[in-house]
A and B are shown apart, each in its own frame.
Chain A
Amino acid sequence: MTIEISDKTYDEEFVKKVEEISGENFHKCMQCGTCSGGCPMIEHMDIPPRQIMILTHFGLKDKVISSKTAWICATCNACSVRCPRGIELTKVMEAIRQLTLRKNINYVEPSAISEEIMAGLPQIALVSCFRKHTS
């Protein structure tokens, strides 16, 4: 994909917010791709974690926010424990999700979950899903 990177495409506020919410210095990323290589969800993502890191670094908010990658991430930490730069990618993904959730937008609608599914679910599935995917 061709991406335009210029002072016009750089969203400074977006970069600052991701820095602030994640508490991580994702600018340290050297694009080695270890995160993408070890991600168990990679095949279901539209943008690999490595690219999410560089797109966020360049402040390309729309590309990052519209990607489904952060919503497919299950916070398994396979990336974080392997990152040679010590970046907790799961915190960056959390920040990206939060930028949407904090606008009162849900990724999962609790009312849409069928009674049949609900009846069998362990509580930790509901609590963790709602914590990660609802505002």
Chain B
Amino acid sequence: MKISYYPGCTLKTKAKNMDCPGVAALNALGVELVELPRWNCCGAVFSLADDDLLHLLAPVRDLIRVVEQGDNKLVVACSMCYNTLARANLLMRENSEKRHTINTFMEEERDYNGEVEVVHLLSFLRDEIGWEKIKESIKVPLRGLKIAPYYGCTLLRPQSVAIEPPEKRTLFKDLIETMGATVVDFPASTDCCSSYQILSNPDIGIETVSKILESAESWGAEAIVTSCPLCEYNLGKRQEDALRKHDKLKELPTFYFTQLLALALGLGAEVCNFELNHNGVVRLMESKKFLTAA
């Protein structure tokens, strides 16, 4: 099976450790993620100003690229890109006035009416491949690893683009169990990691991160799994700042779900680019013997 895939800017650079294992894992499951030709940055955040249509052009152009491929579905792995593309898509589907203005403005492009379905990779794994098939393909079960699923904001809010009902969320749980690991549901699973505030108000950002880490740790997690490069940056790469400020906090390795999936499918550390994560990640995987087993 081939499917159009939007990696986004971060996955092609700072978060290759999310992109590469994702592509490899899907390949092992018989799906070729075909990178969209001539894709551009989606803008990372959906434009909330009602009079600002300009920032909708970027995500809409990406969606037009999908139609040009003769495809009607787009798989996105990055949570922020998913949210931005899905909301822009919804607006083009539902708001005829804005749709008309945008289509008229982009004279060089074909008209777009929201016909593409924007799907997050987690939903794709469940709906198009299925947990049973994934389970059958697991070569290195992540037995004994206690993982806290971290959704953050953009996978679940607003409701119009939520990948599943927030109060009945099971996607991460099902994936973690499929990989043979143990789920540690924790109260801060859908809290905000402070997002871009890590740049504007770093002290507030680190406090926010500390609370999430403390919550996951207090519920017994050994690792956090996420699908957003900004969450991974805040909770993972900036974890040192949180540990420095709060003596009680312990190191808590943060992974992308694609890395754990690739590892569980037996694809080995070489596709996971662990060097792009923070240090604790490799230590934990080695201590669990998941790297040698591959």
Residues of chain A having any CB pair with chain B under 8 Å = 20-23, 40-41, 44, 71-72, 74-78, 80-81, 88, 90-91, 94-95, 98, 107-108, 113, 117, 120-129, 131-133
The reply to whether B199 and A75 contact each other, CB–CB distance below 8 Å, is: no
Determine how close the nearest CB of chain A comes to the CB of B209; give it in whole angstroms. 11
With a cutoff of 8 Å between Cβ atoms, the chain A residues found around residue B55 in the complex are 131
Residue total for B at the interface (Cβ-Cβ under 8 A): 41
Contact of B49 among A76, A78, A95, A108 (CB under 8 A): A95
Contacting pair B158 A123 (CB below 8 A)? no
Tally A-B pairs: CB < 8 A: 126
Q: List 17 A-B contacts (CB under 8 A).
A: A41-B208, A44-B207, A72-B204, A78-B157, A80-B157, A94-B48, A113-B199, A120-B14, A121-B14, A122-B230, A124-B230, A125-B195, A125-B230, A127-B45, A128-B195, A129-B200, A131-B55
**Would you call A94 and B229 a contact (CB within 8 A)?**
no
Q: Let me know if A125 and B198 touch, CB within 8 A.
A: yes
A77 to B87, CA, bound (A): 14
Are B199 and A126 closer than 8 Å at their CB atoms?
A: yes
Q: Which residue from A23, A75, A108, A127 sits with its C-beta under 8 Å from B41?
A: A127
A125 touches B49 (CB 8 A): no
Q: Is the interface of A mostly helix, strand, loop or mixed?
A: helix
Is B29 an interface position by the 8 A CB rule? no
Residues B147-161 near A (CB distance < 8 A): 153, 157-159
Closest chain A residue, CB of each to CB of B14: A122
Chain A residue, CB-CB nearest to B48? A94
The answer to whether A74 touches B192, judged by C-beta atoms less than 8 angstroms apart, is yes
A21 contacts B49, C-beta separation under 8 Å = yes
Residue in B14, B41, B78 whose Cβ sees the most chain A Cβ within 10 Å? B14
B263 to chain A, nearest CB (A): 22
The residue from B13, B51, B159, B199 contacting A125, defined by CB atoms under 8 A apart: B199
Question: What A residues does B191 contact at CB under 8 A?
Answer: 40, 76, 78
Would B14 and A75 count as touching, CB distance under 8 A?
Answer: no
Complex CA distance for A127 and B50, rounded to whole angstroms: 20
Q: Is the Cβ of B157 less than 8 Å from the Cβ of A131? A: no
